[in-house]
Structure 1
C-alpha cells in the first residue's frame, strides 16, 4: 500500500489480504459455475426472519460484515471488490418488458426487462451497502441489495419507500455467497409511484389532485422534508401540465415549477432548478406577476451561478433587477459575478480574502476557475496532457481550478475502503466517499456528466454517451470509480486532524489532464478546494505542464505509489538514472533522508545554533555523496531538498 503524505499506512496481515482475495475469487468462481441456473425459491418466513434478525444485530452494534480487520492508525475499513464492471440500463422503462422473480437466472443481467417489487422486511444498513427482502406481484420472495450508492439526499433509498421498479435486474451472489438482486447503478432503481396511472379526463378532478400535491409539497417544505416536497411537487406538475388543466388554469403548473425550483436549489439539483424556474415565468406586466417572475429569475440565476455559468447568471439577475430594481440580493450576486468573471478571464484572485473566508464549517471557496493559460492536447506516448498557451514566467499562475467535488475528512461523507481489484490482483486504500459524492452530484446535475466521463479510467464502459432517459439521470458508477482512482488528489489537512481513514480527497477536472513528472515544471497548492498551480521554472508556449503526483524522495517508494495508485511506472530522466543505482546505495540514501526528515521535524530553523547548522551541513554532504556527480548532472537531488531548504532559512536568519 502506498503511504499517504501524512505518513499513515494501513498494516494488513498476509492472512487478512489472502482472506479478501479468496472471498472475491471464490465468489467469482461460484458465479461463473451458476451462470444461467434457475433461481431457487426463498421461504417467506425464513427470509423475513433473516432480515429482521440482521437489522436488530446492526442496531445492537454487532460487527459490520463488510469491515476488514486491519491494524495501525487507519483502523478498520469496509472491503469492496472492484474490477467486474457492467453498464447501467440506458433503455427507458417503457421500452422494457416485465419479468417475474421466478424467471430470474443466476449471475445474469436480465437485459430488456424490468422487475416490479415491494419491500417486506426491515432494511439492514451496513456501512457500504443496504439490503432487505422483497416480493413481486406473485408474492415470490428475494433479497435485494444496494451496493455503496445507497443514499439519496442523505436518506437510505430502501427506507424511503417500499415499492420499486428494477431496470434490467442483475441476479447474482453476495460476497458471502447468498443469492441476491444487486443494484450497483442508482439509475437502475426507480421508486414506484403508487398513485393511479389511469388517465383522468375531468379537468376539475385533475386540477384538484394537482392542488392537493402542491399543498402536500408546501407542508413538507415547511418541515424541511425536501425529498418529500420534491416528490409531491413533481406529482403535481405531471397533473398540472396536462392540457385539460393548462387551458383552465395555466398558472398552477407555473406555481408548482417555481416551488420545485426552490426545493431543487436546496437539494443542489441545479439543472432542474434552473429549468423549473425558467418554465415558471409568466412574462405578464401586473405587479404580482412581476414579483413572481423576480423570484423565478433569482432561482434560475442562483442555479446558474452555482453551476459556474456566470455569464448566464449575470443575464438572469439583470432580468430580475428590471422587475424589482431595489432587490439587494440580486445586486450582491451581480457584484460577485463581476469578480468571478474577472478571475475567469485574468487569473487575478484576492487570495487573502479567500483564505479569510474559509473555515471548517465553510471549507469550499467561492471562486471561478482560471484555465486560459492551458489547453488539453494529445501527447504522443502519454495520452492527453495539458500544454501552455503562452509564456508563463517562474512563480506565475499556470491555472487555478475550483474542485468539481471534494469530500473533506471532517465531513460525514468521508469514507475510506479497502478495494480488491480482481483485474490486477491489487488491494488498495480507496476514498470511496468521494466516489459516492461524485455520483450524487452527477445524478443531481446531468449536464456535468460529460466532462467527468471524458477523463481517463481503466474501464471505458460501452462507449455510449447517455446521461438521461425518460426515467431520470443515468450514471455509470463503475466508470466513476475508475476515473476517481486515476485522477483524484488530496487537498491536504486544512481543517483539523485527519488520517488514512478520513483523508480529504477531491477531483479537479481540468487539472486531471496534467501528466506526472518527478522533474515537474509546476507545483500545486490548495486554498480550500481551489487548486493553485504555479510555474517553478519558465514555461514556453506549447510546452507540456507537469506536476508531481508523489513527492517522495525515495525512488522505490515513489514508483510503488505511482503504480499502486495511478497505474504507471515513471520513466522521467530522474527515475531513469535512479533506477541504475545499486539498491544498497538507494537504501543508504533513503536512511539518510529519513534522518534529515527527523532533523527538520525536531529542529526549528529560526532557533538554530552554530552546532545545529553544522549538523545539518553534514547531513546534506552525506546525502549528496550518494549521488554520482556525472550521472546526476542537471537533475534534482530530491533526498536533500528538505534539509537544504531548512539550511537556507537558518543561514539567512543567522546573517541578520
Structure 2
C-alpha cells in the first residue's frame, strides 16, 4: 500500500541563510541544474524500466570505500540549522546543517533508493538513500512523505547523457535520514498537509489493509500513526499488539518486545503480550529472558500448544548454553543449502573475555581443557546465506547494517569490535538512539566486518571431501570468537556447521590461559605469513614459532631454507602425487636429497619442539610418491616425518617400520607446539595403510584411531574417515 500525498503549489522565495562548514578546495556550487520537469521526466524513465525488470531480482549493495570515509551525524534533525537545497555545495559535508524535504516521485530502487525531492521554496534535487532495511519505509520512500536529512553530503553522480554533470544528495549512513511524521511541527508550512487520514480508527484500518497485502513496513507506519492520534487510551493496546506482531514478522525484535509489553492490560489476555515478547527475545537469542516471558504466558494460558512449543524450544537452547551438549551428527544431517541458520544456543562457559597482554582483548579459559575438549560453540551473530565469494562480503556488510538498524540492542556487542585504523576518531555516540534510530557509521561497520569476519563453508566436514566444490564460502560474524587473538601454532581449531562455529582444544589449556586461533592458514615462510598479518590486521605475530624463526634463527639460515624450498617447489610444480601415480626414481631421489638439506637447515636448538613448516610440502609429496610404489617402509618413514614437521612429538625410532609406539599419544604432549590440519589426518591414514601392508594390524588400528581423533578436531565432531575418500 503506497502512501501518496498531493503536491502543494510551488512557492518562489529567496534562500535562507544556513550554517555550512567551510568547503574544501574541491567544493563548488552546481553551475547548471536541471529543472523540476526535467528531473522528474528522466526519473520516470528509470522507474518505468524498473517496472519492466524481473520481479524479486536481488538489489545490489553499495559497499563503502574506506578511503573516502566520513563520520555519521550524531545530531537530531532538531539540532541542525535547516537550509534550502539551493545552498548545497558539491563535494561538501554540510556539518551543522540539515534539510527538510518532500519526496515528489516514486523511488527507483538500485543499490540505493533514488527519489526526486523538493524543499519549501520549490527547489528540487535528487537524493539516493543507501543501507536501509526492507523492513523500513526509508528503503523506498513513498511519494508524498517528508524526510529530514542531517548534515547532508552533496556530490557529483557521474555524467548525464548530454554530458552535463549529475548531482545528488548521497545518504550513506542510514541514521543520517529520518522519516518525519505528517503532524510534526518541524515541517515548514509550504510542505505541511496534515495527516492523510483523520482518525486513529482510519489509520488502524489502513494498517490492517497493508498487513493483509503483506506490505508490512507500511502496516507499521500506519499503526504508528494510529497510536499517535489516538485519544482513547483503551484503543491503544490492540494497536500495540498489531504493531508488535508485524515487527516480529519483519525481524524487528526490539520493537516487537517493547510493543508487546506496552499492550498489556492487566487481564488474562496478557498471555499474548508475554508470548510475543518471549518470541522476540528468542529471536535475539536472549533465551533466559525469553523463558521468563513464556513462563508468564503459560501461567495465564497453561493449555496453549503454541506457548508450550516455544517454551520447550527455549529450554533446549538454555540446556545447550549451560552444558555444551549438542548432537552434532543430527545437526549436520539437518543442514542444506536452504537451512544454514541453525536453531541452537551458544556454549561459551569455558571461556571469558579479558584484556590480553598481546592485543587489546582476548579469550581466556575458565577451566582446564584437554585436547579434543569443546572450548566453545557459538551461533553466528550475523551470517547471510550467501556462498558466492564475489557477493558474500557485501551480503554480510548489508546484513550487519540492517540488523543493527532493526535491533539496536545488538549495537553494544557488535560495535565494540575493532574496525582497524580509521581516518577520524570514532564517536562515542555510535549505537545510541537519535531520532528513534541508532547512530550507525557504515565505514566503521565495513571496517569491523573486514577485520572480524570468518570465511565459512557449508560445513567443514563437506569441505574436507575430495569432491568439495572449491570457493563456496560464506562470510559471518561471531562476536565471541572475534575476541580470539592469532597464533601460527594455536591451541584451538575451529570448524563450522552452517552458522555454528565449533572450537576444540588441540592441546592442554590451563584455566586462565589465553586461547588462540589461526586467522588464516599459515604460510611456510615467516616473512611471507607476517606480511599477510600486517596487511590484513596491522600486527606482526609474536607466537612461539614466529619469535623463533624471526628473532632466534639467523637470517642466513632463513634464506637457505627459503632457497631450498623454492627448489623443491620448482621440481614438484606444487602438485601432490595421486594414489596410482608412479613417480620416476630419479625425481624421488632429487627431492629426497633436497629435503635432507632442508631438514639440516633447521637448527635443532631452535626447532627442537616446534613445527618445521618448510619441510611439510616436500615430505607430504614423498609420502605420496612411496605410497604409489607400495614401498610401505618408506611411506611410514615420511608419514612420521610429516607428523614431526607439523610439530607433533614422535618417539625415538618411530620412522622405522619395526618400532612399536602409540600414535594416539601424539595429541597429548604438553611440551611440544603442534599444528593441527587435515594433512595430519591424511598422514595418519597413510601410516595405517602402510602398517596394514606390512601386516602390522595393531599399529594400523592405533594409527586409524589417531586419525579419527584428528578428524574430529578438524570437523568439530566424530566422523567416518571414509568421508575423505568420496
TM-score range, shorter chain: 0.7 to 0.9
Alpha-carbon distance in 1 for matches of 2:585, 2:239: 72
**1:565 alignment counterpart:** 536
**2:361 alignment counterpart:** 384
Per-residue CA distance 1:284-304 (angstroms, 9 max, x = gap): 2xxxxx2x3222211111011
Per-residue CA distance 1:190-210 (angstroms, 9 max, x = gap): 2344468699xxxxx999711
How many residue pairs get aligned? The number is 571
* 8 Å Cα contact 2:91-2:153 kept in structure 1: yes
* 8 Å Cα contact 2:64-2:446 kept in structure 1: no
**2:631 alignment counterpart:** none
- Aligned pairs for 1:217-228 (under 5 A) are 217-228=207-218
1:635 aligns with 2:610: yes
**1:142 alignment counterpart:** 125
1:97 to 1:382, Cα distance in 2 relative to 1, 3 A: same
* 8 Å Cα contact 1:86-1:461 kept in structure 2: no
**1:245 alignment counterpart:** 232
Deviation at 1:152, TM superposition (A): 2.7
Of 112-121 and 343-352, more deviation after overlay is shown by 112-121
**1:491 alignment counterpart:** 456
**2:342 alignment counterpart:** 365
1:586 aligns with 2:556: no
Deviation at 1:375, TM superposition (A): 1.7
1:258 to 1:230, Cα distance in 2 relative to 1, 3 A: same
Alpha-carbon distance in 2 for matches of 1:367, 1:401: 9
SS in 2 for 1:316: helix
* 8 Å Cα contact 1:617-1:647 kept in structure 2: no
1:154 to 1:352, Cα distance in 2 relative to 1, 3 A: farther
Structure of greater relative contact order (alpha carbons < 8 Å, 6+ residues apart)? 1
Alpha-carbon distance in 2 for matches of 1:615, 1:644: 24
* 8 Å Cα contact 1:450-1:465 kept in structure 2: no
- Aligned pairs for 1:326-337 (under 5 A) are 326-337=303-314
Per-residue CA distance 1:44-76 (angstroms, 9 max, x = gap): 144445545566778899xxxxxxxxxxxxxx9
* 8 Å Cα contact 1:434-1:505 kept in structure 2: yes
Alpha-carbon distance in 2 for matches of 1:171, 1:255: 43
1:393 aligns with 2:364: no
**1:167 alignment counterpart:** 150
**1:264 alignment counterpart:** 247
**1:404 alignment counterpart:** 381
Alpha-carbon distance in 1 for matches of 2:539, 2:284: 34
Alpha-carbon distance in 1 for matches of 2:445, 2:238: 36
Alpha-carbon distance in 2 for matches of 1:51, 1:95: 32
Per-residue CA distance 1:355-384 (angstroms, 9 max, x = gap): 233222221111111222222222235222
Alpha-carbon distance in 1 for matches of 2:399, 2:63: 19
Deviation at 1:105, TM superposition (A): 3.1
Deviation at 1:488, TM superposition (A): 0.5
**1:215 alignment counterpart:** 205
Deviation at 1:273, TM superposition (A): 0.5
Alpha-carbon distance in 1 for matches of 2:206, 2:371: 60
1:626 aligns with 2:598: yes
- Aligned pairs for 1:252-651 (under 5 A) are 252-284=235-267, 290=268, 292-410=269-387, 416=390, 431-458=393-420, 459=422, 461-494=426-459, 503-555=473-525, 558-578=529-549, 580=555, 582=558, 585-586=561-562, 588-589=564-565, 592=568, 598-599=575-576, 602-603=578-579, 625-627=597-599, 628-630=601-603, 631-638=606-613, 640=616, 645-651=681-687
**1:34 alignment counterpart:** 26
* 8 Å Cα contact 2:178-2:435 kept in structure 1: no
Deviation at 1:481, TM superposition (A): 1.0
Alpha-carbon distance in 2 for matches of 1:446, 1:77: 21
**2:659 alignment counterpart:** none
1:521 to 1:221, Cα distance in 2 relative to 1, 3 A: same
Alpha-carbon distance in 2 for matches of 1:637, 1:384: 30
1:79 to 1:390, Cα distance in 2 relative to 1, 3 A: closer
Alpha-carbon distance in 2 for matches of 1:51, 1:206: 25
SS in 2 for 1:83: helix
Alpha-carbon distance in 1 for matches of 2:581, 2:470: 34
- Tell me which structure has the larger Cα radius of gyration: 2
Match of 1:90 among 49, 70, 74: 74
1:638 to 1:156, Cα distance in 2 relative to 1, 3 A: farther
Match of 2:175 among 168, 174, 187: 187
1:235 to 1:59, Cα distance in 2 relative to 1, 3 A: closer
SS in 2 for 1:360: coil
Alpha-carbon distance in 2 for matches of 1:232, 1:613: 80
Per-residue CA distance 1:383-416 (angstroms, 9 max, x = gap): 2211212211111111111111002225xxx784
* 8 Å Cα contact 2:77-2:148 kept in structure 1: no
**1:81 alignment counterpart:** 65
* 8 Å Cα contact 2:61-2:395 kept in structure 1: no
Deviation at 1:439, TM superposition (A): 0.9
Structure 2 stretches lacking a partner, 5+ long: 1-22, 54-59, 160-164, 188-194, 617-645, 647-677, 698-726
* 8 Å Cα contact 2:430-2:438 kept in structure 1: no
1:398 to 1:374, Cα distance in 2 relative to 1, 3 A: same
**2:84 alignment counterpart:** 100
SS in 2 for 1:375: strand
* 8 Å Cα contact 1:207-1:245 kept in structure 2: no
* 8 Å Cα contact 1:517-1:546 kept in structure 2: yes
SS in 1 for 2:503: strand
TM-align CA RMSD: 3.8
Alpha-carbon distance in 1 for matches of 2:510, 2:610: 20
Per-residue CA distance 1:498-553 (angstroms, 9 max, x = gap): 776x7410111111110111111111011111111111010112211110011143
Q: TM-score, normalised by structure 2?
A: 0.70
Of 633-642 and 270-279, more deviation after overlay is shown by 633-642
SS in 1 for 2:218: helix
1:619 to 1:106, Cα distance in 2 relative to 1, 3 A: same
Per-residue CA distance 1:616-639 (angstroms, 9 max, x = gap): 999798657534332433221345
Alpha-carbon distance in 2 for matches of 1:239, 1:454: 39
Structure 1 stretches lacking a partner, 5+ long: 1-30, 62-75, 200-204, 285-289, 418-429
* 8 Å Cα contact 1:90-1:466 kept in structure 2: no
**2:700 alignment counterpart:** none
**2:634 alignment counterpart:** none
Alpha-carbon distance in 2 for matches of 1:344, 1:617: 55
Alpha-carbon distance in 2 for matches of 1:56, 1:341: 51
1:312 to 1:624, Cα distance in 2 relative to 1, 3 A: farther
